[in-house]
Structure 1
Amino acid sequence: MTALSRRFGRPAVTAVLLATVAFLIAPIVLTVVASFATNWTGVLPSGFVTFQNWREVLGLASTIGAERSMGWDSLFSIPIGGGTTLTVAVPSELAFSVALALGGVLINLVVGVPIAYAVSRYEFRGKEWVNAVSILPLVPGVILGVAFLRAYPVLSGTSFGLIVGYSLLKAPFMVMAVQSEFESMPLRQLEESARSLGASWPRTFLTVIVPNASSGIVSGAIICWTLAAAEFNFSYIVWAKGTQPLALFLQRHISNSSFTKAAAAVSMFFCIIVAITLLLQQVGRRGFDTRGH
C-alpha cells in the first residue's frame, strides 16, 4: 500500500485538482466564448465571431431593447481646435457600481482593520461580544435590506446608503481576513521593537503593523469589493431610482435579454472583477512597501 501510495498518490491528487479547477472554470470560459456568438440554444454556442452583444450591453448600439443597455456619462471635454471638443465618457452604471463598492471597501478598511487588530492584540472585557458583533452582519442581503429601510429611512435610496449597506454586509469578510493575518503575527514583539526605537503608537501601527498584515488586508479588500459589486438582494431592496448598481444591471439582462447578450453582460462583470483584483493587488504591494525603493 505504501508503494502504491508513493507511486500513484501524487498523480491522483494532481488529477483531482485539475479536474476540479476545470469543472469550476468551464462555465466562465463558456460564458465568455458565448458572448461573441450569435446563438446559444444548446450546450455550445454557435455563430462566431460578433461584437454585437458587447455593443448592445455597453450601449454602443441602438437596437430594440436598448433601454436595457448601459448608459454613458460625460466626465469632461477637451477642446481640440477648429470648434470641436473631445468628450471623455464612461459607462454610467459601471462607474457608479465601481465607486459604490470601493466606498464600501474604504469604510471596511477604516473600521475593520482596527477592530481586527484590537481583538487579536488585546484582552479586555467584552472581547467575545466585540468579536461576535463584528461578524454579525454576515446575513443575507435581503434581511439587512429590510432592516436598513426601517432603521435608516433617510439613507434609503441614496448612494451613500448603498455604500454604508455594502460595508455592513461585507465587514465580516474584512475583519476575518485581517484578524487571521494579525493572529499569525508576533504583534507584541513588533510593537515593543518599534516603540523601543522611538516610534509613537500611531506610527507603529501605520508603518509596522499594517504593512506586515498587507496580504490579509488586500485579500479582505478584494473579497469585499467583489461581493459588494455583485450584491443583488440589498441593492434591489434599498435602491430607489437613478443609475442602477451593476448587480441590478446584470439581473435585467439575465431576465430580459437573449442568452448571448446576457453572456456579454456577465463576461463584462468577469473582466471588471479581474481588473479590480489586479489593481488592488498592485496598490497593496506599492502602498504597503516601506523599504523605500
Structure 2
Amino acid sequence: MSGVSKPDDKTSMNSITAPVKQPAKTHTRRRGLPTSRTWLAAGQWFVTLLLCAFLIVPVVMSIMAGLTVNYFKGVSSGLTLRWLGEVWTQYHSSVFLSLEVAAMTLLITLLTGVPAGYVLARSKTRLSRIIEEFLVLPIALPGLASALALLVVYGGFTMFRMSVAFIVVGHVVFTLPFMVRAVAAVCASSDLRTLEEGAASLGASFFQRFVTIVLPNARPGIVAGALAVLTLSIGEFNLTWMLHTPDTKTLPVGLADTYASLRIEIGSAYTILFFIMTMPLLVAMQWLGVDATGQRSAGKQRSAASRSKPTPTSTP
C-alpha cells in the first residue's frame, strides 16, 4: 500500500546492532582493571607468604647461628661445624635415648592402639564412646598435669621411677590417642564388617580375619598413627621434663639445657640436630599423604575404591 512507508533497511540494522556494540566497548574498558577476585587472591597470597616468613625466618636464623663462628658477628665471622661437633660429643647419648624411647613407645602403641581403634570403630555403644573420650583426655590436659599424675601414682616405686620405662609410660599415655583415633577413623570408613562376614562365612577364624582383612585395610591409619607417635615422642618436652632424671635426659630436655647454660651457638647447633631428626618424619607424612587422624588416608582409600568400581552399563 502506498500510505504505509516501509522501514529503511539500514536504519533497522543500525537499531538492532547499536545496543550490542555498546556493552562490548564497556567490557573492553573493564578488562584492563583487576577484578575484586584478583585483589582477594593477591591479598590471600600476601598474608600466606607473610605468615610463612614469620614462621620460617626464625628457624633459618637459628640454623645459621649454629653454623657461624660468632653469632653476634653473623656470617661475616665465617661458617663452621665446630658447634655441631661439640653438641654431638656432649649430647649424643640423649639422641640415642630419644630414639630408644620413641621406638619403645611406637611398639607399645602399635600393640595396644591398633586393636583398641578397631574395637572402638566396630562398637556403636555408649560405653565405647565414653572410653574413647577417656583415651583422648591426655591430649586435652597439659603435659605437666599428666606427668604429675604419673608421679603421684608411681613415684613411690624407686627403680621404676629412675628408669627409662617411666618416660616410655608417659609417652605412651600422651601418644596412644593419636594411634587409636587414626586407626578408628580408617576402620570406620571402610566396609570391614561386610568383608569380615564374607570371610567368616567361608570358615575364617577371627585371627585370620584380623590379619588378612583388618590390618591391610587399616594400613593407612596405622602408618599415620605411627608417624605421629614417632614425631610426638621425639619432640615431647613438658611431660618428659618432669619425668626425666640426670641419667634419662632426652633430646628436648638437652635442648633446654643448652639454651639455659651454654652459649647460643651450642643451642642453635642442637636445634640443627633436632631438625635433622624430625624433618625426615614430617616429609614422610607429607609424601605418604597421611595426617595425625588418618582422615586424609581414609579419603584417598575411598576415592581409590570408587574409581575401581565398574561403571554401570544401561541394558537395552
The TM tier, using the shorter chain, reads 0.7 to 0.9
Q: Determine the structure 2 residue equivalent to 1:4.
A: 35
Structure 1 residues 176 and 48, CA gap change in structure 2 (3 angstroms): farther
Please list, as runs of the form range in 1=range in 2, the aligned pairs for 1:180-219 lying within 5 A after superposition: 180-219=185-224
The alignment's TM-score, normalised by the length of structure 1, stands at: 0.75
Q: Which amino acid aligns with 1:23?
A: F
Please report how far the alpha carbon of residue 272 of structure 1 lies from its aligned counterpart in structure 2 after TM superposition. Answer: 0.6
Q: Which amino acid aligns with 2:66?
A: S
Equivalent in 164, 167, 176 of residue 159 of structure 1: 164
Q: Determine the structure 2 residue equivalent to 1:32.
A: 63
Gaps of 5+ in 2: 1-33, 291-316
Equivalent in 146, 149, 170 of residue 148 of structure 2: 146
Please report how far the alpha carbon of residue 39 of structure 1 lies from its aligned counterpart in structure 2 after TM superposition. Answer: 2.5
Structure of higher CA gyration radius: 2
Number of residue equivalences? 253
Comparing 135-144 with 274-283, which one deviates more in the overlay? 274-283
Q: Determine the structure 2 residue equivalent to 1:122.
A: 123
Q: Determine the structure 1 residue equivalent to 2:54.
A: 23
**2:51 pairs with 1:50:** no
Q: Determine the structure 1 residue equivalent to 2:304.
A: none
CA distance in 1, matches of 2:218, 2:118: 10
Please report how far the alpha carbon of residue 129 of structure 1 lies from its aligned counterpart in structure 2 after TM superposition. Answer: 1.5
CA distance in 2, matches of 1:167, 1:259: 32
Q: Determine the structure 1 residue equivalent to 2:16.
A: none
Please report how far the alpha carbon of residue 278 of structure 1 lies from its aligned counterpart in structure 2 after TM superposition. Answer: 6.1
**2:182 pairs with 1:177:** yes
Please list, as runs of the form range in 1=range in 2, the aligned pairs for 1:218-237 lying within 5 A after superposition: 218-237=223-242
Gaps of 5+ in 1: 60-68, 71-90, 286-293
Comparing 12-21 with 116-125, which one deviates more in the overlay? 12-21
Q: Determine the structure 2 residue equivalent to 1:66.
A: none
Please report how far the alpha carbon of residue 192 of structure 1 lies from its aligned counterpart in structure 2 after TM superposition. Answer: 2.8
Please report how far the alpha carbon of residue 177 of structure 1 lies from its aligned counterpart in structure 2 after TM superposition. Answer: 2.4
Say what the alpha-carbon RMSD is for the aligned residues.
2.9
The alignment's TM-score, normalised by the length of structure 2, stands at: 0.70
Deviations 1:193-251 (A, max 9, x none): 44345433223223322222222222222222222222222222222232421121111
CA distance in 2, matches of 1:122, 1:249: 43
Contact 1:137/1:171 (<8 A) preserved: no
**2:113 pairs with 1:112:** yes
- Structure with bigger helix share is 2
Structure 1 residues 129 and 191, CA gap change in structure 2 (3 angstroms): same
